[in-house]
Chain A
Amino acid sequence: MKQTAPLIFGFVIGMIMFLQYFIPHPPFTTAYSTVLDWKQVVFGMTLILGILSLLRYHMKHVQRRSSSWRYSVVTLVGFLVMVLGAAVQGTDRGVYSWFFDHVQSPMQSTMFALLAFYVASASYRAFRARSLEAALLLIAGIIVMLGRVPVGDIVQLDVAGTELSLSTISTWILDVPNLATKRGILIGVGLGIVATALKILLGIERTYLGKGA
């Protein structure tokens, strides 16, 4: 029963959601709407679960005074200040808004901006033409990097007797090899999703039931 019930439940709900695409009339539309409502509720609950798990993890760290417990205190204080600030004064003013504008926003922007430095350092050390494939990737990367900024329109290359700007070559790389590859991946992913969905519907794929299923 512990296994059969979830399997039947999964099959029935899965079939309803599948059929409603082709039968846009009640009771399928009503069932579809109800499932979407439930989905939102379940999603909200997972957020609460995640928050509780985060709090428990950091509270344990503080209690045990483990190596980085001070960071856990910052996390807990930050969490409480933002939640209480938003609950009491709202999100458009007061403590929440101040912390967002003066702490969260500059800190997140700074972290992202630092990427430029690390990418520069990493590409200097790791982006090597070790093989033919790596060399091709390197050349394509350089062309796209330069082609995506104004200098790409200024620099002209002679390709088989035709003057082409770096941005034209960059556009070709994005439009042809990149597009073809991405489409191939998307088709593969799509087929994989269909296969997995069928396996779950038919009860062949049971890992979501937990161990021993």
Chain B
Amino acid sequence: MDRLLNVLIRLKDLDRRVLFIFVALAVAIPVLKPMGLPIRSSRESVDFHRELTSLKAGDTILFSFDYDPQTRAELDPMTRVIWTTCFEKGVKIIALTLYPGGVGVADEISKELAEIHGKTYGEDYLFLGYNPDWSGTMLRLGESFRKTYPTDQLGRETGSFPIMENVDSYADTPLLVSVSSSAMAEYWAIWAGGKFGQKVITGNTAIQAVLVYPYYYSGQISGFLGGLKGAAELEMLTGQIGAATRGMDSQTTGHVLMVVFILLGNVAFLAERLRKRRAA
């Protein structure tokens, strides 16, 4: 018994480099050899998809890139599906970012997808750029898009673009999509939704998604995607299988490994406690 306890207690001092190797393998192997685990859609993803697909050709939506390169792996897949769905449906997109690092992300994704779908800048989509005062920006957009952003990212007059012809406030955009790695999604719901009645749907990192539930159940957010799983669910719903679906296998093995580590750590902890009790 003592020998068993000693072995279990020794687990406590496992070199963290061993753990790192296991994590690396758990994440890498499914990328090389996919398992194709089934993905079931959650209620919030179905709602998100319904709002997105209920848009009609010619509608213009607001899209906020509320993230920077740190969370691209988790959030880029949902952004790509949303933009692709809009472009395929003929929905126009006015994009902006409240993150300085979001400029590069927005620039890259918008140009790439516009090229694939043959969309024209200024007619089918527009990138307004970065504005540092996030709460002021959300409030001012309710008054006038043109006044909030007199010029686009490259300094051209916002009002001169055809996409802005009949659009100047939340009243003219049937939907606002925020893909966010922070509390920005909540603030859009509070400022744009609460004060101006703008319909809001959000894509969030898995950590942030937990905080969005109260806004979803109160109806302030009409649908949301939680992390890579949410993105994979949207990919399934739209039939655009991509990086998120492929990443779910890795995420699964990563989570399972983490749970195994936690259980092993607790076994070592309980063994140590048992030995102390026996010694006393």
Chain A residues at the B interface, C-beta cutoff of 8 Å: 33, 36, 39-40, 43-44, 47, 90-92, 97, 100-101, 104-109, 111-113, 116-117, 119-121, 123-125, 127-130, 138, 141-142, 145-146, 148-151, 153-154, 167, 171, 174-175, 178-179, 182-183, 186
- B229-262 at interface with A (beta carbon < 8 Å): 229, 248-249, 251-252, 254-259, 261-262
**B105 cross-chain contacts in A, Cβ below 8 A:** 105
Q: Report the tally of A-B residue pairs with Cβ distances under 8 A.
A: 152
**B27 cross-chain contacts in A, Cβ below 8 A:** 116
At the interface, yes or no: B70 with Cβ under 8 Å from chain A? yes
Contact call A150/B37, Cβ cutoff below 8 A = yes
Chain B residues at the A interface, C-beta cutoff of 8 Å: 12, 14, 16, 19-20, 22-24, 27, 37-40, 42, 68-73, 101, 103-105, 107-108, 131-133, 136-137, 139-140, 143, 153-154, 206, 210-211, 213-214, 217, 226-227, 229, 248-249, 251-252, 254-259, 261-266, 269-270
Contact call A123/B70, Cβ cutoff below 8 A = no
Give the CA-CA distance A213 to B227 in the complex, in Å: 46
Rounded to whole Å, the gap between the CB of B23 and the closest CB of chain A is 5
Task: Give which listed residue, A44, A107, A124, A179, contacts B217 with CB less than 8 A.
Answer: A179
Contact call A121/B101, Cβ cutoff below 8 A = no
A-B contact pairs, 20 of them (CB 8 A): A43-B133, A97-B104, A97-B107, A101-B108, A105-B69, A105-B104, A108-B69, A119-B258, A123-B261, A124-B264, A128-B269, A138-B266, A146-B259, A149-B248, A151-B256, A174-B210, A174-B213, A178-B210, A178-B213, A186-B214
Contact call B262/A138, Cβ cutoff below 8 A = yes
- Output the nearest chain A residue to B14 by Cβ-Cβ distance: A124
- Output the nearest chain A residue to B232 by Cβ-Cβ distance: A150
Give the CA-CA distance A129 to B263 in the complex, in Å: 10
Contact call B269/A109, Cβ cutoff below 8 A = no
**A108 cross-chain contacts in B, Cβ below 8 A:** 68-70, 101
- The B interface is mostly helix, strand or loop, or mixed, namely helix
Contact call A153/B40, Cβ cutoff below 8 A = yes
Contact call B73/A113, Cβ cutoff below 8 A = yes
Give the CA-CA distance A33 to B213 in the complex, in Å: 32
**B214 cross-chain contacts in A, Cβ below 8 A:** 179, 182-183, 186
Given contacts A40-B136, A104-B69, A123-B262, contact A167 B40 (CB under 8 A): yes
Give the CA-CA distance A206 to B248 in the complex, in Å: 52
**B153 cross-chain contacts in A, Cβ below 8 A:** 91-92
Give the CA-CA distance A90 to B229 in the complex, in Å: 36
Give the CA-CA distance A178 to B104 in the complex, in Å: 35
**B73 cross-chain contacts in A, Cβ below 8 A:** 109, 112-113
Give the CA-CA distance A124 to B20 in the complex, in Å: 11
Task: Give which listed residue, B19, B132, B251, contacts A47 with CB less than 8 A.
Answer: B132
Task: Give which listed residue, B23, B107, B254, B258, contacts A91 with CB less than 8 A.
Answer: B107
Rounded to whole Å, the gap between the CB of A146 and the closest CB of chain B is 6
Contact call A117/B20, Cβ cutoff below 8 A = yes
Most chain A CB neighbours (cut-off 10 Å) among B153, B251, B261? B261
Task: Give which listed residue, B104, B210, B255, B261, contacts A149 with CB less than 8 A.
Answer: B255
**B14 cross-chain contacts in A, Cβ below 8 A:** 124
The 9 closest A-B pairs by CB, nearest first: A150-B37, A43-B133, A100-B104, A105-B69, A108-B69, A124-B261, A149-B252, A112-B70, A108-B70
- Output the nearest chain B residue to A105 by Cβ-Cβ distance: B69
Most chain B CB neighbours (cut-off 10 Å) among A43, A124, A167, A179? A124
